[in-house]
Amino acid sequence: MFISNAYAQAAAPAGAAGGLMSFLPIILMFVVLYFLMIRPQMKRQKEQKAMIDALAKGDEIVTAGGVVGKITKVSDGYVTVEVGEGTDIVMQKAAVTLLLPKGTIKAL
């Protein structure tokens, strides 16, 4: 008496445009993710690889651990870094994070 009957309505036919419109927010999210996160990270990795490939004897560097020194020897995957007078460290090239301008280290 007081409760009215509820009837199911017929669903609108989903066309190709309706299917595309439901995926549009997800597609836009991936596009934004690519331009804000993935692309800049790939650019940074490319610059880091170019810097590591260009390491040469006499370059002043900072390592991942914060050690500052001058490169005395470069081999395929390793560099020898002088961190003090008569103190050399052998480390992987991948541990080099920053190439300093010439003349930055004056204490060596």
Residues 76 and 63 in one domain: yes
Which residues make Cβ contacts (< 8 Å) with residue 59, sequence separation at least 6? 70, 71, 99, 100
Residues 63 and 93 in one domain: yes
Residues 30 and 63 in one domain: no
Q: What is the pLDDT of residue 14?
A: 55
Question: Tokens 């490319």 label which residue?
Answer: 46
Residue 29 lies inside a defined structural domain of this protein? yes
Q: What is the pLDDT of residue 9?
A: 77
CA dist., res. 32 & res. 26, Å (int): 10
Residues 61 and 84 in one domain: yes
Which residues make Cβ contacts (< 8 Å) with residue 82, sequence separation at least 6? 69, 70, 71, 72, 88, 108
Q: What is the pLDDT of residue 48?
A: 94
83 burial level (CB within 10 Å; 0-12, 13-18, 19+): middle
Could you list the pLDDT tens digit for every one of the 108 residues in the chain? 678 887 777 766 655 566 778 889 999 999 999 999 999 999 999 999 999 999 999 999 999 999 999 999 999 999 999 999 999 999 999 999 999 998 888 855
Residues 63 and 44 in one domain: no
Q: What is the pLDDT of residue 17?
A: 63
Residue 108 lies inside a defined structural domain of this protein? no
Q: Are 80 and 71 contacting, i.e. CB atoms less than 8 angstroms apart?
A: yes
Residue 36 lies inside a defined structural domain of this protein? yes
Residue 70 lies inside a defined structural domain of this protein? yes
Q: What is the pLDDT of residue 2?
A: 78
Residues 78 and 43 in one domain: no
Residue 80 sits in which domain range? 56-100
